[in-house]
C-alpha cells in the first residue's frame, strides 16, 4: 500500500512537473484530504507533494492552519503552599492547529517585516486578547500560549523539513496529533523566489469524527439524558450478567 501510493505520487508528480515548467506556477496535492477520527485513531500523517517551476535558490513554505477559536491561558500561583490557578487570559481567533514547514530557515527566506505581513511564524499570527481586556506583561502570556501549544503538538514549526528535488518536485509531511480538533484545515503552499512570492496553491483538509466514535460523541451531545440512562442500564446489565455467569462456576 505504502509503496503503491509513493509510486502513484511520483508518476503524477512527473506528469504535472512538465506542465508546471511552462507556466511558472506550483501544483500540489495531499495524500489524504479527509481525516476520519475513528475508534483506532492515533493521529495522522499526511504527505504533501507537488511540483513547481523551480530555479536555483527557490523556496517553499507550507502553512497549515486549523479551525480558530478561544484558547484560555491560566497562570498558577502558590497559595498557602498549594499551586492554584489564579489568573487567566482569553485569546480569541487562535488557530487550534498550526504547522509551518519550509525547505530552510524562514529567516533566510524572508525578512522579519515580510514574515509579519504575511503572518508567517509563530509570533506573527493575528491572535488577539478578548476585546475589552487588558493584561500586564502581555508578552509573557503570549509566550506561554505558544510554548504550551507547541508542547501539546497542536502547533509545530518544521524548518528544513520540506525536501526539494532537482528544483522541480517537493514533498513534506504533516502530522496531526491524536488530540487534534475537528474541522476544516487550510493548507497554503507558497513558492518564493528571491524573497518574492511568485505562486501559491491552496487546499483543505477535513478532520471529522467518524464511525462508532462519532456516533457516541453525537449521542452524548444531543441526547445527553438518554445517553446517561443507557450508560447506567449497560452497567447494571453487565453487573447482573457477571453475577449469573459466576454463580454457575
Contact residues: another protein, CB under 8 A: 37-42, 69-78, 81-85, 88, 96, 141, 144-145, 147-149, 151-152, 154, 178-179, 181, 209, 212-214, 216-217, 220-221, 224-225, 227-232, 234-236, 238-240, 242-243, 246
Q: Which is nearer to another protein, 18 or 87 (CB)?
A: 87
Q: Which is nearer to another protein, 78 or 113 (CB)?
A: 78
Phi-psi label, residue 185: left if phi above 0, alpha if psi -120 to 50, beta otherwise: beta
Compute the least distance from the CB of residue 83 to another protein, in Å.
6
Q: Which is nearer to another protein, 39 or 107 (CB)?
A: 39
Compute the least distance from the CB of residue 136 to another protein, in Å.
14
Sign of the alpha-carbon dihedral angle for 215, 217, 222, 226: positive
Spatial contact of 72 and 145, defined as CB atoms under 8 Å apart: no
Q: Which is nearer to another protein, 136 or 179 (CB)?
A: 179
**What stretches of the chain show up as alpha helix (H) in DSSP?**
2-23, 106-109, 112-117, 138-151, 211-222, 224-248
Compute the least distance from the CB of residue 134 to another protein, in Å.
18
Sign of the alpha-carbon dihedral angle for 10, 104, 167, 62: positive
Compute the least distance from the CB of residue 245 to another protein, in Å.
8
Compute the least distance from the CB of residue 37 to another protein, in Å.
7
Sign of the alpha-carbon dihedral angle for 110, 112, 116, 122: positive
Distance in angstroms between the alpha carbons of the first and the last residue of the chain: 48
Amino acid at each position: 500500500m505504502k509503496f503503491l501510493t509513493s509510486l502513484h505520487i511520483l508518476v503524477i508528480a512527473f506528469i504535472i512537473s512538465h506542465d508546471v515548467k511552462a507556466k511558472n506556477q506550483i501544483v500540489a496535492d495531499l495524500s489524504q484530504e479527509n481525516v476520519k477520527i475513528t475508534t483506532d485513531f492515533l493521529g495522522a500523517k499526511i504527505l504533501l507533494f507537488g511540483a513547481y517551476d523551480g530555479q536555483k535558490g527557490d523556496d517553499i513554505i507550507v502553512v497549515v492552519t486549523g479551525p480558530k477559536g478561544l484558547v484560555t491561558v491560566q497562570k498558577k500561583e502558590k497559595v498557602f503552599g498549594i499551586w492554584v490557578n489564579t489568573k487567566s487570559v482569553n485569546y480569541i481567533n487562535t488557530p487550534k492547529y498550526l504547522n509551518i514547514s519550509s525547505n530552510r530557515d524562514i529567516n533566510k527566506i524572508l525578512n522579519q517585516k515580510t514574515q509579519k505581513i504575511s503572518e508567517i511564524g509563530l509570533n506573527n499570527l493575528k491572535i488577539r486578547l478578548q476585546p475589552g481586556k487588558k493584561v500586564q506583561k502581555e508578552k509573557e502570556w503570549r509566550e506561554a500560549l505558544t510554548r504550551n501549544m507547541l508542547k501539546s503538538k497542536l502547533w509545530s514549526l518544521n524548518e528544513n523539513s520540506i525536501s526539494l528535488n532537482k528544483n522541480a518536485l517537493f514533498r513534506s509531511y504533516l502530522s496531526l496529533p491524536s488530540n487534534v480538533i475537528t474541522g476544516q484545515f487550510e493548507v497554503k503552499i507558497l513558492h518564493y523566489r528571491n524573497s518574492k512570492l511568485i505562486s501559491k496553491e491552496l487546499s483543505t483538509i477535513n478532520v471529522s469524527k467518524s464511525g462508532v466514535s462519532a456516533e457516541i460523541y453525537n449521542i452524548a451531545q444531543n441526547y445527553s439524558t438518554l445517553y446517561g440512562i443507557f450508560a447506567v442500564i449497560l452497567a447494571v446489565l453487565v453487573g447482573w450478567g457477571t453475577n449469573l455467569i459466576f454463580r454457575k462456576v
